[in-house]
Amino acid sequence: MKRMACALAILVFCMAAPASDPPKRPRISGIAYVRILVTNLDKAREFYSLALSPISPPVSTQTPCDWCERAPIFPAFGPKRLGPIELETLPSQGAASSLKEVAFTTDDATKLRDFLKKNHVATEKLTKCGEDPCFSVSDPENHRLVFVQRITHPPIEIPGAYSSVAISEPIIHVGFVVRDRAAEDRFYKDILGFHLYWQGGRKDDETDWVNMQVPDGTDWIEYMLNVPANADHHTLGGMNHIALGVPDIHAAEAQLRKNGWTGTEEPKIGRGGKWQLNLYDPDDTRVELMEFTPVQKPCCSEYTGPHPGPNR
């Protein structure tokens, strides 16, 4: 009887003991920056400054651009610095993609790194991105990601560098070539908590683009599917791209023309029902201007998350 009572007591204790809680993921709220590889820094700087930001004349190419060289962040979109682009000279051996890395904001880089390690994701050591704690990982298809614990800084004004009025708002999405959607979903969806925002294709019964939205914001990444293995440089430049939000695509185009942009593309409504306009930098990397909300019903599927907006 004593042995039975003891066993019963152990069973009751085991049933009452709380199970260890799974690690909780810190918030991932949006895109912090994108680093783009370029072959000619001067030409790239001219494109991103002339075509995307200033209404006043751009900084003269004959004038030393100390602020471009002093810090790696290239403030292309006005003093708010909400969605910066970083430019880096392409290494001589070349690269598979012009997008070297994509950074996301989190509220706790240390805890997020621990969370990923507990989920068997290899991470690099915790370091600093400027003043902000950050660390790097690679997704299953070797896209380099950085998670930055964003500390709020006062706006940085650079007299004469650019106007406080910008054509575009922050980067709202980044697209890159994906070969194995299931593997990417296991990482972005099952571990990081990204969710489907919209998906569609060139035809209604095809899926060529999968938009996965960050768990705690409105930005997203776009899987670019069904890209031929032998795709040429221009095609890959169009697939590995960034998108900037604009409230009015036609006003944005008009300002681009005033600034001296001479591209031949015109605004169009994409398959997702949003107005968009494609620009290409000197290395054929696509920079897509996109209105925040759709103006017509999207093809293929409905939107399942909130749309981005200005001043987010």
CA-to-CA distance for 58 and 51, rounded, in angstroms?
10
pLDDT, residue 11, reads 43
For 170, how many CA atoms within 13 A lie in the half-sphere containing its CB? 23
H helices present in the chain, as ranges: 2-16, 41-52, 66-70, 109-118, 181-185, 233-239, 249-259
pLDDT in tens, 100-121: 999 999 999 999 999 999 999 9
pLDDT in tens, 214-264: 999 999 999 999 999 999 999 999 999 999 999 999 999 998 988 888 889
At 48, give phi and psi (nearest 5°).
-70, -30
3 state SS of 216: coil
In this structure, what DSSP letter does residue 103 have? E
Q: Is the dihedral of CA 219, 200, 95, 48 positive or negative?
A: negative
pLDDT in tens, 14-51: 444 444 566 799 999 999 999 999 999 889 988 888 76
Q: In terms of pLDDT, which residue wins out, 227 or 129? A: 227
Burial of 138 (0-12, 13-18, 19+ CB in 10 A): middle
Q: Report the candidate in 106, 105, 147 with the shortest Cα–Cα distance to residue 126.
A: 147
CATH of domain 171-291: 3.10.180.10
**286's tokens:** 């696509």
pLDDT in tens, 295-306: 999 999 999 999
pLDDT, residue 20, reads 53
Pick the CATH number of 28-149 from 3.10.180.10, 3.30.465.10, 3.30.1360.170, 1.10.8.80: 3.10.180.10
CA-to-CA distance for 169 and 74, rounded, in angstroms?
15
Q: Report the candidate in 252, 296, 242, 288 with the shortest Cα–Cα distance to residue 272.
A: 296
pLDDT in tens, 149-193: 986 444 333 333 323 334 555 799 999 999 999 999 999 999 999
**Which amino acid, residue 305?**
G
pLDDT, residue 22, reads 63
CA-to-CA distance for 115 and 198, rounded, in angstroms?
27
H helices then E strands: how many in the chain?
7, 15
For 19, how many CA atoms within 13 A lie in the half-sphere containing its CB? 4
Q: Can you say how many angstroms the Cα of residue 128 is from the centroid of all Cα atoms in its chain?
A: 19
CA-to-CA distance for 187 and 191, rounded, in angstroms?
5
Q: Report the candidate in 173, 204, 108, 180 with the shortest Cα–Cα distance to residue 305.
A: 173
Count Cβ atoms below 10 Å from residue 52 Cβ, excluding itself: 25
Domain boundaries for CATH 3.10.180.10 within the chain: 28-149, 171-291
**Which amino acid, residue 176?**
F
| Residue with tokens 């682009």, as numbered in its chain | 85
Instruction: Look at the pTM and tell me if it is higher than 0.85.
Output: no
Residue 241 β-bridge partners: 175
